[in-house]
């Protein structure tokens, strides 16, 4: 009824770091995914966006302000290896310094292909998601924010009632057109629990990481205080703890991600 065609992306509605996110190729694969999905949990089916470019756009708009700002932009790169025509997929994974730390997860996910020998120059993508949980690489690209991109996200956020703080995850085909605010697709919106993922850029110094995280939390608390002054009631702590525990339980119960 939604007009989706295979392949589609199946993912939990309450998700974190790509847990439970899979590319579903056909009806049989969807049935298997649904069978493995925890009872009582909501899931989403999304159009698969094949663009290779992915970014996290952190957006903040204070209550009452006409415009917001993009406080950070981070490019996300999927884990991959490049064949040399001699080494097996398993050997390529183990030889990659970054991926070797995630070898247990990646070798389990690709166990049916480990003996394959990719051709010289062939790029083998190892995950559907770009999370650093599976070996993805994050690169701070905040310097590439343009007025056109900021205006585009102002318009998107304005269509979301009371959206003041969070991260849009997007995919795009061309970085220059994306910077111009064109030709990209929002694949996910993360709210108060969202990370400013540029802090995972390996080039960042630890002191700058903590400075950025404290600034992020300060912004969130100041927006929350402004909303309380407008009459919004905060969630009781016991409810917050209950929801957090539920999320942890669900993360361990979701089907394996790809």
Q: pLDDT digit string (tens) for 130-161?
A: 677 777 889 999 999 999 999 999 999 999 99
148 Cα distance to chain centroid: 23
Query: Which residue pairs from 182-191 have beta carbons closer than 8 angstroms and sit at least 24 positions apart in sequence?
Result: 182/152, 184/51, 185/49, 185/51, 186/156, 187/9, 187/46, 187/49, 189/160, 190/166, 191/165, 191/166
Structure tokens at 194: 């969202």
Does the structure show a pLDDT above 70 at 22?
Answer: yes
Burial class (CB in 10 A: 0-12, 13-18, 19+), 121: exposed
Burial class (CB in 10 A: 0-12, 13-18, 19+), 250: buried
Residue with tokens 């970085």: 175
Does the structure show a pLDDT above 90 at 79?
Answer: no
Residue with tokens 């361990």: 252
Structure tokens at 150: 């900021």
**Domain end position, chosen among 126, 154, 189:** 126
Stronger pLDDT, 62 or 3, i.e. the higher one: 62
Does the structure show a pLDDT above 70 at 251?
Answer: yes
Q: Are residues 117 and 151 in the same domain?
A: no
Structure tokens at 144: 């590439």
Q: Are residues 158 and 243 in the same domain?
A: yes
Residue 3 lies in a domain: no
Q: Are residues 151 and 224 in the same domain?
A: yes
Identify the domain containing residue 197 by its residue range: 8-77+137-253
Confidence of residue 102 (pLDDT cuts 50, 70, 90): confident
Residue 105 lies in a domain: yes
Residue 132 lies in a domain: no
Residue 2 lies in a domain: no
Residue 131 lies in a domain: no
- Please name the residue ranges forming H helices in the chain: 27-36, 89-95, 97-100, 103-109, 147-158, 175-179, 206-229, 237-253
User: Which neighbouring-strand residues pair with 70?
Assistant: 59
Residue 36 lies in a domain: yes
pLDDT at position 83, please? 95
* DSSP reduced 3-state for 154: helix
Average pLDDT for the chain: 91
Could you tell me which residues come within 8 angstroms of residue 62 by beta carbon, excluding any fewer than 6 positions away?
A: 68, 164, 222, 223, 226
Could you tell me which residues come within 8 angstroms of residue 27 by beta carbon, excluding any fewer than 6 positions away?
A: 6
Q: Are residues 207 and 220 in the same domain?
A: yes
* DSSP reduced 3-state for 104: helix
Q: Are residues 213 and 157 in the same domain?
A: yes
* Percent of all residues in the chain with a pLDDT value above 70, rounded to a whole number: 98
Confidence of residue 258 (pLDDT cuts 50, 70, 90): low
Tell me how crowded residue 199 is: count the other CB atoms within 10 A of its CB: 19
Q: Are residues 195 and 151 in the same domain?
A: yes
Q: How many domains does the chain have?
A: 2
Q: Are residues 20 and 141 in the same domain?
A: yes
**Domain end position, chosen among 126, 157, 188:** 126
Does the structure show a pLDDT above 70 at 61?
Answer: yes
Residue 1 lies in a domain: no
């Amino acid at each position: 009824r939604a007009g989706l065609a295979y392949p589609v992306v199946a993912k939990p509605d309450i998700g974190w770091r790509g847990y439970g996110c899979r590319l579903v190729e056909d009806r049989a694969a969807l049935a298997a995914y649904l069978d493995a999905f925890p009872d009582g949990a909501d899931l989403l089916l999304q159009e698969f966006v094949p663009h290779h470019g992915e970014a996290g756009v952190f957006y903040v708009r204070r209550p009452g302000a006409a415009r917001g700002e993009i406080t950070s932009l981070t490019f996300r790169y999927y884990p991959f290896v490049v064949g040399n025509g001699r080494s097996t997929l398993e050997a390529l994974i183990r030889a990659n310094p970054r991926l070797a730390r995630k070898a247990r997860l990646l070798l389990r996910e690709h166990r049916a292909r480990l003996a394959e020998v990719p051709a010289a120059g062939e790029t083998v993508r190892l995950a559907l998601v770009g999370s650093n949980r599976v070996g993805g690489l994050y690169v701070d690209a905040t310097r590439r924010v343009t007025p056109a991109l900021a205006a585009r996200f102002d318009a998107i956020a304005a269509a979301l009632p009371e959206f003041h703080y969070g991260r849009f995850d997007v995919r795009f085909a061309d970085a220059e057109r994306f910077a111009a605010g064109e030709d990209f697709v929002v694949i996910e919106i993360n709210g108060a629990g969202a990370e400013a993922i540029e802090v995972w850029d390996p080039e960042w110094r630890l002191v700058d990481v903590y400075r950025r995280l404290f600034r992020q939390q300060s912004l969130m608390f100041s927006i929350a205080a402004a909303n309380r002054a407008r009459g919004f009631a905060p969630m009781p702590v016991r409810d917050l703890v209950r929801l957090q525990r539920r999320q942890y339980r669900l993360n361990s119960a979701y089907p394996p991600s790809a």
